[in-house]
Structures are given as structure tokens and as C-alpha cells.
Amino acid sequence: MKLNDYKAVFTVAGLTGVLLCAFPSLAMIFQMPTGETFSELWILGPDHMAEGYPFNVKSDEPYRVFLGVSNHMRVLSHYVAYVKFRNQREPLPNSTAATPSPLPPLYEYHVTLQDGESCEEPLTFSFSNVTWSENQCLVRALVVNGVIFTVDKSASWDADETGCYYQLFIELWIYDVGAEVLRFDNRFVSLRLNMTSSP
């Protein structure tokens, strides 16, 4: 090898070494491309498994599930999970339009998570003052984690599916730091519930 060849090898090796040493500092200055940012929302059954969810429900009987939230937003994030209740005629959130259900929230979970953190909270619910009249079921009150809410929701008897169906659903909202508002994160989970006493 000639002297000029050695110079070229040492120059390339030296520049590579400088870049490798400077990379951590450069990463702090330049925003490197990152993967997709997202949040997760889920419901697990009473044994922390994706099974055993309540379906056929009765008045004055407690039911328990677990609500989970996970942060993959690359920043500290504050979430609010709104618990809502509907009969079969009322609207769910619209995933295509990314809009929440217009129904009012009954109960709220607030949680702040670092990137990569998750949490699960118990969600216990029961129904009270349930009455039947002809082909209608009326649920007057819903108890969520010990708090009583007047709901006054009626559902018609579905002869094909033999039941009166309701849904308990949870919407995930995230605090938008730039706009200083909570916004719907276009995520929701639900439990379809059949009030089992027949008319």
C-alpha cells in the first residue's frame, strides 16, 4: 500500500469515529424519525383475562371487569376514560368520523402515564330499579364503582335474540397540550349486556 492509501484509510476511520462519538449529541439536536404513536384501551374480565365478560345481567347483581389504558405517545400523557351507557337506539362513537358519542358520561377515570406505561383499574357495576312493562325493560339506575347514576333507559324486547340489550361503553380522551383541551382519542370499548328477566 502506498502512503496516500494509508492516509485515505485513516481519514475515513477518523471521520467515522468522530461521527459515532458525536451521534448522541446530534440525536438531541435533530429529531430522528420515530414509529407510530398511539394509545391503547381494553377491558378484561373479572379474572384479568380476555374472557368471562358479563353478558346476561340481572338487577341488583354486581359485575366486575378491569379497564386498561396504555401510553405509546412518546411523551407523558394525561387520559380521561368516560364511562357511558346506552340502549339499542342511542349512538355509539363514530370511528370513521372520529367523533365521540353525544351521550353524557356517567363516570370518569383520570390517569397520567409515561411513555410505555400501562395501568388497569377495576370497573364494578350493577343495575337497580329495573322494571318490565309489556315488551319494554326500563333501567332507572346504574351503579358504577359504588356511585349511583339515574339513567332511565328503556330497551325493547328483541324476539330474534331473546333479550333486552344495553351497552356499557368507555371512550378514551387525551389531553392535547398544544390546544389545552381534552380530545377524543378515537378509541372505545364496550360490553353488550342482556337484561335477562323476560317481559
Indicate if 29 and 117 belong to the same structural domain: no
Q: What is the pLDDT of residue 48?
A: 93
Side-chain-facing half-sphere of 139: CA atoms under 13 Å: 30
Q: What is the CA radius of gyration of the chain?
A: 26
Q: Rounded to an integer, what distance in angstroms lies between the CA atom of residue 46 and that of residue 91?
A: 27
Q: Catalogue the E-assigned strands of the chain.
A: 38-44, 56-57, 63-72, 77-87, 107-113, 118-133, 136-144, 147-156, 164-176, 181-195
Q: What is the pLDDT of residues 152-188, one digit of tens each?
A: 999 999 888 889 999 999 999 999 999 899 999 999 9
Which pLDDT score is estimated for 27? Answer: 47
By residue range, what is the domain housing residue 44? 38-195
Q: DSSP assignment of 130-146, as one string?
A: EEEETTEEEEEEEEETT
- Look at residue 16 in the predicted model and tell me its pLDDT: 59
CATH of residue 97: 2.60.40.10
- Indicate if 20 and 112 belong to the same structural domain: no
Same domain, 91 and 5: no
Strands 77-87 and 107-113: antiparallel
Looking at the structure of the chain, the number of domains it has is 2
Strands 56-57 and 181-195 come out as parallel
Verify that 96 and 182 share a domain, yes or no. yes
* 107 and 80 within one domain: yes
Which sign does the torsion angle of CA 100, 42, 145, 118 carry?
negative
- 136 Rama class: left (phi>0) / alpha (psi -120 to 50) / beta: beta
Q: How far is CA 107 from CA 6, 33, 82, 146, 168, in A?
A: 72, 38, 6, 11, 11
Residue 14 pLDDT: 55
For residue 199, the model assigns a pLDDT of 44
Q: pLDDT, tens digit, for every residue of 62-91?
A: 999 999 999 999 999 999 999 999 999 999
- The sign one gets for the Cα dihedral 150, 156, 158, 162 is positive
52 plus 109 within the same structural domain: yes
Whether residue 100 sits in one domain with residue 22 = no
Rounded (5°) CA angle 43-79-111: 80
Which residue in 34, 107, 99 sits closest to 67, CA to CA? 107
Give the CA angle between residues 111, 116, 119 to the nearest 5°.
35
Per-residue pLDDT tens over the stretch 3-35: 565 565 556 555 555 555 555 554 444 454 467
Judge if 94 and 167 occupy the same domain. yes
